[in-house]
Copies of this chain bind each other. A is one copy, B any other.
Amino acid sequence: MSDQTDAVATPIRTAVADDDGIDFTLIELFFFAYRDFTSDPDEILTDYGFGRAHHRVLHFVNRRPGLTVAELLDVLKITKQSLARVLKELIDTGHVVQLQGPKDRRQRELYPTAKGRALALVLAKPQSRRIHAALKEASAGQRDSIERFLKAMVNPELRAQIDIVPKNAG
């Protein structure tokens, strides 16, 4: 009886692999890729006294100018209280401004300032460069596959969040 109550549990010496019917290869690659994907902006952010949370807010305010606090909470999947401090700091430092909603004056529409736009671009640049480098040898069709894959990884009921920004809104 080698159950949990044994003083010493038996070590398993074989590695799990894709054989177990589980795609460990892609699971692990996704972890490594995202770890390094976020590392570039993380370094820049420390110079500004900001963290990854500030980056996320700044990104979406630049991506969807005029979105409300509620919409931002829904996209980030965090609570109002978690957002509060981060948003306040971005407002206090002049990266983001709030405007009263034109139709519903309870709402606060969030917009980037020129300063906030500039920082968003600075943060996105190394990420875009990394993506561009990773796609170097990929064809246009392969890029489409990757885009479709990433989109399909998102919960179906939340995929609408992605489509808010048209492919080339410019």
Taking beta carbons and an 8 Å cutoff, which residues of A are in contact with B? 2, 4, 8-37, 39, 56, 59, 62-66, 77, 94, 97, 99, 111-117, 120-121, 124-125, 127-128, 130-138, 142, 145-155, 158, 161-162, 165, 167-170
Interface residues of A: mostly helix, strand, loop or mixed? helix
Asked whether B147 lies within 8 Å of A20 as measured between CB atoms, the reply is: no
A22 to B130, CA, bound (A): 11
Distance (whole angstroms) from the CB of A166 to the closest CB of chain B: 8
A77: which B residues are within 8 A, CB to CB? Answer: 35
A121 to B17, CA, bound (A): 10
A17: which B residues are within 8 A, CB to CB? Answer: 165, 168-170
